[in-house]
């Protein structure tokens, strides 16, 4: 019995040493965590430009950029498909005669290009930090989450001039935001329509003035148009224009 027990211990020891040696021979490789679609979209946005001749977004991503930035080729497919679909929407918006704004926004750069009768524009969209106009006198806000409007209609009493503060805090694709003012207008008309593929890195301000007459205080009504898309989340706040 002792001899059988000794043989079993020897076999167990040999098995243990054999497994240990085998694992020590295996080279341990650090796994590379692939980017999410939103992460790769933020990288691609650094190379996006606005084609002011064809009124569209343009991007060129080379193999060297893919390797240097660690972009997933699997993510490039839906990113380029979304860009193509967005450009089609922009083209259709222009065909309908809508005044349309294309936005490129990063932490260091803000560019907006509006297609329309620019000769009549007296004000242009401005970028402001998130801290700007933090006091809105309790005016209600439009809001969207996951690419859809969660609050799509607001009415309030204010002065005869107000400022809308539009912001996108998150997105994983290209988005289109549009809302209409039914009691006033802006330099771009009574509808705000903007396209982009990035967060706004602050607020995009637009100035509005009352057109339906009346006396102070004035009634304002804003209503959203269609889904935003791109899983975008953000707000449209309102404040008096000073």
| pLDDT of the residue at 108 | 75
- Of residues 8 and 84, the one with the higher pLDDT is 84
Separation of alpha carbons 228 and 136, rounded Å? 24
Strands across the sheet with 218-224, in order? 110-115, 100-105, 191-196, 175-181, 218-224, 153-158
| pLDDT of the residue at 13 | 39
Q: What is the pLDDT of residues 157-182, one digit of tens each?
A: 999 999 999 999 999 889 999 999 99
* pLDDT for residue 122 is more than 60: no
Q: What own/partner pairs with CB < 8 Å and gap ≥ 24 does 154-158 have?
A: 154/221, 154/222, 154/223, 154/238, 155/219, 155/220, 155/221, 155/222, 156/219, 156/220, 156/238, 157/217, 157/218, 157/219, 157/220, 158/217, 158/218, 158/220, 158/238, 158/240
Separation of alpha carbons 229 and 232, rounded Å? 6
What is the percent of the chain where pLDDT is above 90? 50
Q: What is the pLDDT of residues 26-39, one digit of tens each?
A: 444 445 688 898 89
* pLDDT for residue 234 is more than 60: yes
Beta pairing class for 218-224 and 175-181: antiparallel
Q: What is the pLDDT of residues 56-113, one digit of tens each?
A: 999 999 999 999 999 998 999 999 999 999 999 999 999 988 888 998 887 777 788 8
DSSP 101-166: EEEEE-SS-EEEEEES-GGG-S---EEE-TTTT---TT---EEEETTEEEE-EEEEEE-SEEEEEE
Residues 77, 83: contact at Cβ < 8 Å? no
Tokens 């064809």 correspond to 54
Going by pLDDT thresholds of 50, 70 and 90, the confidence category of residue 139 is: confident
Give φ, ψ of 151 to 5 degrees.
Answer: -125, 110
What is the average pLDDT score of the chain? Answer: 81
């Amino acid at each position: 019995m002792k001899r059988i027990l000794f043989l079993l211990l020897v076999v167990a020891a040999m098995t243990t040493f054999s497994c240990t040696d085998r694992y020590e021979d295996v080279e341990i490789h650090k796994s590379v965590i692939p980017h999410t679609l939103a992460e790769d979209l933020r990288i691609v946005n650094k190379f996006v430009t606005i084609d002011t001749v064809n009124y569209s977004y343009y991007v060129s991503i080379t193999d060297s950029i893919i390797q240097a930035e660690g972009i997933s080729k699997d993510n490039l497919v839906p990113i380029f498909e979304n860009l193509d679909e967005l450009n089609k929407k922009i083209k259709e918006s222009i065909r309908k005669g809508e005044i349309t704004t294309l936005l490129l926004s990063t932490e260091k750069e803000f560019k907006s290009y509006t297609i329309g009768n620019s000769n009549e524009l007296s004000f242009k969209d401005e970028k402001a930090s998130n801290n700007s106009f933090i006091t809105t006198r309790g005016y209600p806000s439009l809001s969207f989450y996951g690419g859809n409007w969660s609050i799509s209609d607001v009415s309030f009493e204010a002065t005869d001039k107000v400022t809308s503060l539009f912001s996108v805090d998150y997105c994983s694709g290209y988005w289109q935001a549009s809302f209409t003012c039914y009691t006033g207008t802006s330099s771009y008309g009574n509808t705000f329509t903007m396209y982009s593929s990035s967060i706004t890195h602050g607020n995009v301000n637009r100035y509005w003035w009352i057109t339906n007459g009346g006396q102070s205080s004035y009634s304002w009504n804003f209503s959203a148009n269609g889904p935003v898309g791109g899983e975008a989340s953000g707000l449209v706040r309102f404040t008096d224009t000073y």
